[in-house]
Amino acid sequence: MTLKDFFVVNPRVALAFSGGVDSAYLLHAALEHGAEVKAYFIKSQFQPEFELEDACRLVKELAERFGCDEEKLMQVVPLDVLACEMVAANPADRCYHCKKEIFRALMEAAEADGFTVIIDGTNASDEEGDRPGMRALKEMEVKSPLRLCGLTKEEIRRLSKDAGLFTWDKPSYACLATRIPAGRCITAEDLERVETAEANLERLGFRDFRVRLYHGAARIQVKPEQMELAIVKQREILEQMKPLFAEILLDMEGR
């Protein structure tokens, strides 16, 4: 099956849209193949602001390219995901409960707009063992066209580059909840601290890194090629991080 085949069979779809590489390309492909598509961005405490900014930027560019109404192409759906006790408690299968909450909110919004087919950006490189939330997708009958068509992450990046999408080389990004160790209750305060810390480090030149909570401290994980930068910018990092965390650790194994 090709994406063109998929959209011939499913000409009206609601897309779970994050502004990342996969869902960005899927939105482009749906428009390219003439499908009636609407992207739904679920804005919870787990999504940093830059993800919404990227999503809005991409929608604006695609609306201009395909002659769509930008306001009708994407809807932001607010969600207080921490209101779900099973999500806030942060058990090992938190992702399952989180996905259920996200897609429940998305489906309600999509149903109000007359959509019955829900799609997401899961691709052929995503192993089920690495994605506990995929169980929720199956239970809620969410379709994953990229996976169905056998498209890997590498292929999606190449196709995105060919299509002129700025997201083609965007680093993979896991939600802010992944920065909190399983078993530790997730609070809005901790999420805000992590988001602020990562935004500050990005301004210092770091890319594709993580700031994780570790027994109350902040554990910074950078790519091996940026380890030297972390050492050189030690003072600047401390200046940015000290107002947020009492202890700052650098993971020498890297990310």
Amino acid 166: pLDDT: 98
Which of the listed residues 169, 200, 215 is the one where a domain comes to its end? 169
- Which residue segment(s) compose the domain that 165 sits in? 3-169
Which of the listed residues 141, 169, 197 is the one where a domain comes to its end? 169
Structural domains counted in the chain? 2
Amino acid 127: pLDDT: 74
Both 141 and 195 in one domain: the answer is: no
Amino acid 163: pLDDT: 98
Both 19 and 111 in one domain: the answer is: yes
Which of the listed residues 122, 140, 169 is the one where a domain comes to its end? 169
Both 119 and 216 in one domain: the answer is: no
Both 32 and 96 in one domain: the answer is: yes
Amino acid 129: pLDDT: 60
Both 151 and 242 in one domain: the answer is: no
Considering the domain boundaries, does residue 180 fall inside one?
no
Instruction: Give the model confidence (pLDDT) of 108-159 as tens digits.
Output: 999 999 999 999 999 999 876 656 788 899 999 999 999 999 999 999 999 9
Q: Can you give the pTM of this predicted structure?
A: 0.94
Q: Which residues of the chain have pLDDT under 50?
A: none
Q: Domain of 52: which CATH number?
A: 3.40.50.620
DSSP assignment of the chain equals --HHHHHHH--EEEEE--SSHHHHHHHHHHHHTT-EEEEEEEE-TTS-HHHHHHHHHHHHHHHHHHT--HHHHEEEEE--GGGSHHHHT--TTHHHHHHHHHHHHHHHHHHHTT---EE----TT--GGG-TTHHHHHHTT-B-HHHHTT--HHHHHHHHHHTT-GGGGPPP---GGGGSPTTSPP-HHHHHHHHHHHHHHHHTT--S-EEEEETTEEEEE--GGGHHHHHHTHHHHHHHHTTT-S-EEE-TT--
Amino acid 130: pLDDT: 55
